[in-house]
A = this chain, B = another copy of it.
Amino acid sequence: MRFWFMLLLAITVIGLAPATQAVDIESWETEQGMRVLFAPAPTLPMLDVRLTFDAGAARDGDRNGLARLTSNALAHGTADMDADAVAERFEAVGTQFNTTSARDMGIVTLRTLTEPDWMAEAIDVLTEILAAPAFPEDDLNRERRQMLQALQRQRQEPGSVASRRFYQLMYGDHPYGNAPSGSEDTIPTLTRAEVESFFRQYYTAGNAVLAMTGAISREDAEALAERIAQALPEGGRAPALEPVPKLDGPVTERVAFPSEQAHIFMGAPALRRDDADYYALTVGNHALGGGGFTSRLFREVRTARGLAYSVHSSVRPMAAEGPFVIGMQTGTDQIDEALEVLREELQRLHQEGVDPDELEASQANITGGFPLRLASNSDIVQNLGMMGFYDLPLDFLAAHNDRIDAVSREEVHEVIQRRIDPEALVTVVVGGEE
């Protein structure tokens, strides 16, 4: 039986009542325009490196899947070193290496021991890959096949079908309408030349953020940043994404699916990552459905009516307006009642805001969970990458809890009214008959 009570969806932080460790963050920019965030962490003899590029599915254009294929194929080596040789060299020095992508980002991560010979070899392999990836045709074929197989599996899962359709309806022709996993139509047609060109255009020094945490000196961190920046293609920052158009009314879609449970998503584009409304909306969402067992949605949907085993809401800020999302599963005979409850609770929050107890409990839960969110070097380097990518201030972590605590009931109410329109939501239901 698994109970994971991660209270906090928000990125939480530092500086609260119980003794905490501060994360010292240093930041600079290399000559090539690569932003760097570095947090020394001398305790363990290892180094975490996280490179984020503005190279996610939002940059696919009409070639959906191109960002993912590029990121998947990046590790397959160079003209001098095939995929097995890459793997073997990393393995010989105990290095963990990974590439992935999402809507906003293409991500390269590396964890190495700081023993000098081993770290030097790990950095050599990393920079060789970044300097001249080969994207061999054989490997691209295998990646395309695996991406198509992954899509096939998604088609079997009602939750995946619902999520994919939810984003399509929220974002339409906006770049966020592109699924990171690509589409059956486009994947087979993506060419090696397109992958190469995508890499040259978006995996550039000026379009990159380098986050590092570990047991190295500032001097070594600077030298490492310099090597990585020099290895990357030259080039500046990708242009800002266009704003997401507001929905002008409700959009509801039911998709038949032979599943026992219906999967429901309800929500709308809501918030950019750098928007100051983040704090008030996070507190309001926590009271609605972000706080698990103590949230309004949970009490009404599960405890009072027994409609579902769980229900959840979240705010997912992104480079352009990321979504506010409510998600749940329910029996196919209870879909209408479930939708009604979700709408009622959202209407009530919209009209009344949160009460003083909810405000206080939500603030305490969000701020109190900091140590669980920054407990490992992986957590820290992930936060640094996020902060650099979205141009958040360097005191984001240190000031976060004060900002959450400073939110008033009036602000929560005002922000919910301005950011979430209960009359203009996308609702997707997958399950049961049409």
- Give me the interface of A with B, judged by CB distance under 8 Å: 1-8, 17-21, 43-46, 71-76, 84, 86-88, 90-100, 111, 113-115, 118, 143, 215, 291-294, 302-303, 361, 365, 368-369, 371-372, 375-377
Contacts and interface: CB of A to CB of B under 8 A. Distances in A.
Residue from the set A2, A5, A111 with the largest chain B CB neighbour count within 10 Å: A5
Residue from the set A1, A99, A115, A365 with the largest chain B CB neighbour count within 10 Å: A1
B371 A294 contact: no
A293 B88 CA distance: 5
A375 B18 contact: no
Q: How many copies does the complex hold?
A: 2
B43 A96 contact: no
A5 B96 contact: yes
A293 B83 CA distance: 11
Q: Which secondary structure dominates where chain A touches chain B?
A: mixed
Nearest to A88: B293
A87 B372 contact: no
Shortest beta-carbon contacts, A-B, top 5: A18-B115, A88-B293, A1-B72, A18-B45, A5-B91
A45 B371 contact: yes
Nearest to A139: B1
Contacts of A368: 93-94, 113, 115, 118
Contacts of A94: 5, 7-8, 365, 368-369, 372
A215 B19 contact: yes
A67 to B, nearest CB: 13
B74 A1 contact: yes
A98 B3 contact: yes
Contact of A1 (B91, B113, B143): B143
A21 B1 contact: no
A96 B93 CA distance: 34
A87 B3 contact: yes
